[in-house]
Structure 1
Amino acid sequence: MVNGNTSNMIFSKNSATNCNGKNNVLSEVQGNTRLVHGGVHRDEGVTGLLNRSFINPPVYHASTIVFPNAQEFRATMKNWPHLALSYGRYGNPTLFVLEKAFAAIEDADNACLTSSGVAAINAALLTFLKGGDHLLMIDGVYDATRSFCDGFLARFGVSTTYYAPSITPDDLERLILPNTTVIFIESPASMTFEVADVPELAKRAKAKGVRVIMDNTWGPTLFKPLNNGCDVVVASLTKYVSGHSDLMMGVVAAREHTTYRSLKSCVSTLGILPGPDDAYLALRGLRTLSVRLERHATNGIKVARWLEEQPEVARVMHPGLDSHPQYELFRTSYTNSTGLFGFQLVEGFSQGAVDAMVDGMYFFSLGLSWGGHESLLMETKINNFRTVKKWKYGDGCGQTLRIHVGLEDVSDLIVDLHNGFRRLVDYS
């Protein structure tokens, strides 16, 4: 709203089916309103003789798209894949609505959907890297991204240097080489949940002409990478945006239109768009994201505080706790937390004891992903994926676990964890 009056709101006529420019429809409304209304153009989605439209866009299944005349066909082909509705591999109206909605919540020029979060990260890196380039990658990155850097990119002559998740801006600047092209940030870091000083890191990178890409999967809507100096934001929509553990999807978005066009070309060339049915489900999840995240955050911090009080726990890696090393940075950067964090047992428990704890959980399932409505718990081997600064094991610190706190009643989750610690202690 402008001055609280909807009559003063100017709605853009930029089409949801035109992947060519910024969606200004919701530029002056708040975040929750953007989640509910982003990407929607009901004046363009009319159906039937009565000129009425649906709240949710239809699911378009399409490969071949036909044109009314040769002139329009030639005009579209001159600007493919940036003009929409040319061929199914470049997108369809169902996908375009979700892309526009994500762009609205990230203050992006536009966004491109991909078939998974990993595909989004890989596409973003491939858009800007070429043989002979140097990449700075955060050491706490998602393990699939590390594999892509050390395997695929290395084969094509791209070198990667990993940097500590809690690196100072001065130390990062010293790692920038003449051929450094991209700096990749994931914050909070996978498994360990260190928080990066994104604005300052991005400032140092931009001063050297280096692009900054950030993975914002942990905190969608809670932190705005593009408003904090990043050029590109990627996210796995498989997680919180979907919210129901039933689809695979990623997204990559850019602040500048020229950057978006480069990303769109790369995504289209790789042929990694998701299907329309999954896009429809992700769009449904997006509309309720804010209320679900609020519950995840409330439950998560309660469980984290309870864990801190348990004698079996050496430390809790939750950035919303004032015991966290980057708590002040997190508090001033993020509007809230989520339900994903880690904790470390005290030293001395056997592998069998940890297995007994995890295997006997009732509400906490054992699974690789997170972000759905259900709670999850799994052991992590952090140093299998760290090279710069190893995580502390020994000297009082034992096994590490990653926990995702879902939407259940938190009292039931705490009882489940309490019983799990009893199995841990009683195992022989």
Structure 2
Amino acid sequence: MPDDTPHRHGFRTRMSHAGRAGVRIHGFVNPAVHRGSTVLFPSCEARRAGAAKRYEQFMTYGTQGGPTHYALEDVIAEIEGGSRCTIVGTGLAAVTLPLMAYLRTGDHCLMPDSVYGPARNIANTLLANWGIETTFYDPCVDEAGMRALLRPNTKVVYTESPGSHTFEIQDIPAIARAAHAHGAKVLMDNTWGIHSFQPFTHGVDVSIQALTKYVGGHSDILLGSVTVNSEEDHLIVRAAASAIGHYASPDDVWLALRGVRTMPIRLKAQEAASIEVARWLEAQPQVRQVLPPALPSHPQHHLFLRDFRGGCSLFGLVLQPRYGEAEMFRFVDSLTLFGIGASWGGYESLALPTTGFI
């Protein structure tokens, strides 16, 4: 008989089947939207037994999620190659949740210097106010360099590959080896590589996603996820989410379930379009460098080929030094088919000037 385990099938096939009952059922193709706060139990004993399952996919109260949430959790865990997933209301919530779950007063955290701006802000404000020190490291650090950065109180090594704006590809396996030998957890913002980078096969403990982007795909939802691959990490993350009261709108969750079905096709087309644009830009005299990791000119292209199964539509570019902020703004303002916005992953084209990063 053929092996029907999910990972024997291709990505597109898995995304059309994950998180739903299957094809041999009588009923609608898509899961329903389940909204609610209060959950009823047949007896006090049943309620007490249910309370012990509050970190599982078991309905005890609305903030613990329901069938719609659980379906999306299963899909994201399937995509990332993990075992358990927790859905939260925004991508930024997905960044803060594991940081709060794993760090305590007196601990030390390592973050790449190219990290997503709001993640840096969290480290410099909330974490600092709670007595947690963060060191921002060179994203291109090797294994020996990471070992040198680790302190006795380093509990979390945060990674993001590619880096925001500057698009460095990190050597995640090397960083993970050093971190794990020290006893630290490796967190990764894997939003860029949701379809192409398998975090847990490369040593990541906790994978963070802004589902707002490629999973939603239409710039009309806000969602995040935190995926793990061990029961220990699941209990830590889920307990923190429950304690803080994280929740996601079931309507947004349902839209994400719908979006994920077409994500493989959308991403393939978006990647091809972005490479075409990047290659055109690479030939323009006003452009100093384009930064898609899929191009051979990228400094860490060899790591991209080793670890990733494909590219992504988001990339950056650097203008020649003679062009300042005014010229950059004028260039972006002149675009007629690109909107000016801070997000990505939807069906529309966006451009956003940034200064002070390179």
Could you state the TM-score of these two structures normalised by the residue count of structure 1? Answer: 0.81
Paired amino acid for 1:26: P
Alignment equivalent of 1:39, drawn from 10, 16, 19: 19
Displacement over 4 Å in runs of 4+: none
Q: CA deviation at 1:36?
A: 1.3
Aligned AA for 1:295? A
Q: How many residues align?
A: 358
Q: Which residue of 2 aligns with 1:136?
A: 110
Equivalent in the alignment of 1:117: 91
Aligned to 2:227: 253
Deviation per residue, 1:332-373 (Å, 9 max, x gap)? 111111111111111223543332221121111100111111
Q: Does 1:275 align with 2:255?
A: no
* Superposed counterparts of 1:402-413, under 5 Å: none
Does structure 2 retain, via aligned residues, the 8 Å contact 1:191–1:382?
no
Cα deviation for residue 68 of structure 1 reads 2.0
Alpha-carbon distance in structure 2 between the residues aligned to 1:57 and 1:79: 23
Aligned-residue offset at 1:104 = 1.1
Separation in structure 1 between the aligned mates of residue 10 and residue 23 of structure 2, nearest angstrom? 22
Higher CA-based Rg: 1
Report deviation, 1:155: 0.7
Q: Any idea what the Cα deviations from partners look like across 1:189-233, whole Å, max 9, x if unmatched?
A: 000000001111111111111110111001112001111111110
Mean Cα deviation higher: 132-141 or 72-81: 72-81
Give the deviation of 1:42 after TM superposition: 4.5
2:293 is matched with 319
Residues in 1 aligned to 2:132 and 2:324: alpha-carbon distance in whole angstroms = 41
SS of residue paired to 1:63: coil
- CA contact under 8 A between 1:137 and 1:161: conserved in structure 2? yes
Contact 2:210 2:223 (8 Å CA) reproduced:
yes
Gaps of 5+ in 2: none
Cα distance change, pair 318–182 in 1 and its aligned pair in 2 (3 A): same
1:43 CA drift (Å): 9.0
Q: 1:82 Cα deviation (Å)?
A: 2.6
- What is the alpha-carbon distance in structure 1 between the residues aligned to residue 316 and residue 76 of structure 2? 28
Give the Å deviation of 1:132. 0.6
Whether 1:173 aligns to 2:144 is: no
Please tell me whether the aligned partners of residues 42 and 53 of structure 1 are also in contact (alpha carbons under 8 angstroms). Answer: no
Match of 1:292 in 2: 266
| Residue-by-residue CA offset, 1:215-255 (whole Å, 9 max, x unaligned) | 10011120011111111101100111111101111000101
Residue 330 in structure 1 maps to residue 330 in structure 2: no
1:75-114 superposed matches below 5 A = 75-114=49-88
Cα distance in 1 between the residues matched to 2:16 and 2:91: 23
CA distance in 1, matches of 2:349, 2:143: 36
The answer to whether structure 1 residue 214 and structure 2 residue 188 are counterparts is yes
Go from structure 1 to structure 2 and tell me whether the alpha carbon gap of 1:276 and 1:83 turns closer, same or farther (over 3 Å shift): closer
Structure 1: 5+ residue stretches without partners = 10-24, 47-51, 384-390, 392-428
The verdict on how the C-alpha distance between 1:112 and 1:376 changes in structure 2, with shifts beyond 3 A counting, is same
- Residue 167 (structure 2) aligned to one of 193, 196, 209: 193
Partner of 1:379, secondary structure, is: coil
What's the C-alpha RMSD, in Å, of the aligned pairs? 1.6
State which of 176, 193, 216 in structure 2 corresponds to 1:202. Answer: 176
Whether the 8 Å CA contact 1:84–1:92 is kept in 2: the answer is: yes
Aligned to 2:218: 244
Aligned to 1:26: 6
Indicate which of 127, 138, 142 corresponds to 1:164: 138
**Cα offset for 1:34?**
1.9
CA contact (8 A) 2:57 2:70 kept: no
Distance 1:272 1:309 in 2: 47
Deviation at 1:144, TM superposition (A): 0.3
Structure 1 Cα separation of the partners of residues 311 and 7 of structure 2: 24
TM-score by length of 2: 0.96
